[in-house]
């Protein structure tokens, strides 16, 4: 079965509700009132049907990229849910800043390497760092990095287009990337290629925040809305602002050789207090966030807080305060069809383009089954029909 929770039965640790209030609805303890799905593990063949959005609320927790479940990139699937917790600021429970611990982390100098020392390190290091171990991505980031390498030196660690080995104690990049040792390692580089694995509005991961925290200038490619979340207007270089990797490389060379220009991207570390973080949206979002990250046992994590959010919504419904199904829009998980970062067009050789189209077919077929009241179907039946719709291009 799905990764779902019976919130009526699991009413524990819900803030603002007394034991008496929780017991008030104990008669429903054997009835599933709200089901919570983890997007990366959702199984479209094993859904708790029939779907009745007026009686049973479905809540979607999906903080990951569209790689994991392509069907959820499409409105036909998203609209099956009453509540969402995604990376989008427009979801009911936004997780946009799930990888940023605090505003202080952006201004802190614990990992910072002075510009003069970074320039000395250029004798042994390239000016640009690239560390990725997922080599098949919708964004095709390796293709862009490979082209960029023709025009500027890049030290590439990890498993993708590797040209240097990590130190032995950091050899398992996936395990070590959150360690202090790795953060100090990244901090030595003047620039870091911060390329997401997919393009979605507000899908911003540690790939951006890590270099900002340590004081390496991010060269970012990914979320079209990233400007809305940067600490100030000059804290990252966006690949989308350049017509080609060659033009970007020229810009990096220019800033690498000019200390004043380079420092202009480090105001969050070196600027006056009123220059460091000028983005009110970022500050406000961090201030109102009640959950913590990095095993913050005092605040709890976003999973626990989303559970409580859904519990509160169920109380509102049971008390007659909520009488309609929540509205879901594309903005809750906005991940368009992948395009090549080199050409700006769909690349038919990119496997993930086909997966995006297949996900659309999955979403539409599932929606069709639910609308006609079809509650029993097996893998073979579903995927035979899916194959036909996909091959005939009727989705």
Using the CB atoms, write b or e for 326-352: b if 16+ within 10 Å: eebebebbbbeebbbbeeeeebeebeb
Residue 45's alpha-carbon distances to 81, 92, 117, 378, 391, in angstroms, are 16, 26, 56, 7, 20
Q: In this predicted structure, what is the pLDDT of residue 48?
A: 85
Q: Band the pLDDT of 323: cuts 50, 70, 90.
A: low
Q: Which SS3 state, helix, strand or coil, does residue 389 take?
A: helix
Q: What is the pLDDT of residues 38-63, one digit of tens each?
A: 999 998 888 888 887 667 889 999 99
Q: In this predicted structure, what is the pLDDT of residue 25?
A: 40
Residue 341 has pLDDT above 90, yes or no: yes
Residue 391 has pLDDT above 80, yes or no: yes
Q: Band the pLDDT of 186: cuts 50, 70, 90.
A: very high
Residue 88 has pLDDT above 80, yes or no: yes
Q: Band the pLDDT of 65: cuts 50, 70, 90.
A: very high
Q: What is the pLDDT of residues 19-42, one digit of tens each?
A: 444 344 444 334 557 889 999 999
Q: For residue 96, give the nearest of 193, 209, 19, 177 by alpha carbon.
A: 209
Average pLDDT (332-347) is: 98
Sole residue written with tokens 């390692």: 185
Average pLDDT (188-205) is: 98
Residue with the larger pLDDT of the pair 386 and 295: 386
Domain ranges of the chain: 19-96+290-339, 103-288
Q: In this predicted structure, what is the pLDDT of residue 2?
A: 46
Q: What is the pLDDT of residues 96-144, one digit of tens each?
A: 999 999 999 999 999 999 999 999 999 999 999 999 999 999 999 999 9
Q: In this predicted structure, what is the pLDDT of residue 393?
A: 83
Residue 280's alpha-carbon distances to 207, 228, 229, 353, 358, in angstroms, are 22, 10, 9, 36, 39
Mean pLDDT, the chain, whole residue set? 90
CATH of the structural domain 103-288, one choice from 3.90.1150.10, 3.40.50.11660, 3.60.150.10, 2.60.40.10: 3.40.50.11660
Q: In this predicted structure, what is the pLDDT of residue 145?
A: 98
- Comparing 24-28, 77-81, 108-112, 328-332, the range with the smallest average pLDDT is 24-28
Residue 362 has pLDDT above 80, yes or no: yes
Q: In this predicted structure, what is the pLDDT of residue 174?
A: 66
Q: What is the pTM of this model?
A: 0.90
User: Hey, which residues does 156 pair with through a beta bridge?
Assistant: 130
Residue 8 has pLDDT above 60, yes or no: no
Share of the chain above pLDDT 90, in %: 74
Q: In this predicted structure, what is the pLDDT of residue 18?
A: 43
Q: In this predicted structure, what is the pLDDT of residue 91?
A: 98
């Amino acid at each position: 079965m799905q990764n779902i929770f019976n919130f009526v039965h699991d009413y524990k640790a819900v803030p603002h509700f007394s034991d008496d209030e929780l017991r008030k609805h104990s008669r429903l303890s054997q009835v599933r009132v709200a089901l919570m799905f983890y997007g990366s593990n959702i199984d479209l063949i094993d859904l708790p049907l029939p779907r009745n959005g007026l009686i049973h609320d479905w809540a979607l927790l999906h903080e990951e990229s569209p790689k994991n479940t392509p069907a959820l990139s499409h409105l036909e699937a998203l609209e099956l849910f009453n509540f969402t917790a995604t990376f989008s600021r427009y979801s009911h429970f936004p997780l946009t800043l799930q990888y940023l611990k605090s505003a202080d982390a952006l201004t802190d100098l614990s990992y910072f390497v002075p510009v003069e020392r970074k320039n000395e390190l250029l004798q042994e290091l390239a000016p640009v760092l690239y560390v990725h171990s997922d080599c098949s991505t919708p964004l095709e980031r390796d293709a862009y990095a490979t082209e960029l390498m023709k025009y500027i030196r890049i030290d590439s660690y990890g498993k993708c287009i590797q040209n240097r080995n990590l130190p032995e104690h950091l050899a398992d990049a996936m395990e070590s990337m959150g360690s202090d040792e790795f953060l100090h390692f990244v901090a030595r580089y003047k620039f870091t290629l911060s390329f997401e694995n997919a393009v979605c509005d507000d899908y911003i991961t540690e790939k951006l925040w890590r270099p900002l925290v340590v004081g390496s200038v991010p060269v970012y490619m990914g979320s079209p809305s990233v400007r809305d979340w940067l600490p100030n207007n000059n804290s990252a270089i966006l690949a989308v602002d350049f017509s080609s990797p060659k033009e970007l490389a020229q810009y990096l060379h220019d800033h690498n050789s000019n200390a004043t220009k380079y420092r202009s991207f480090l105001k969050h570390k070196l600027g006056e207090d009123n220059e460091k973080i000028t983005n009110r949206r970022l500050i406000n979002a961090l201030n109102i966030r009640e959950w913590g990250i990095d095993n913050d046992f005092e605040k709890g994590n976003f999973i626990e807080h989303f559970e409580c959010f859904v519990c509160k919504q169920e109380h509102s419904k049971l008390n007659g305060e909520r009488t309609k199904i929540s509205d879901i829009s594309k903005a809750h998980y906005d991940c368009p069809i992948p395009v090549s970062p080199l050409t700006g067009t769909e690349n038919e050789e990119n496997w993930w383009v086909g997966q995006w189209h297949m996900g659309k077919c999955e979403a539409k077929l599932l929606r069709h089954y639910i609308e006609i009241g079809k509650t029993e179907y097996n893998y073979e039946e579903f995927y035979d029909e899916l194959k036909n719709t996909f091959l005939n291009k009727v989705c």
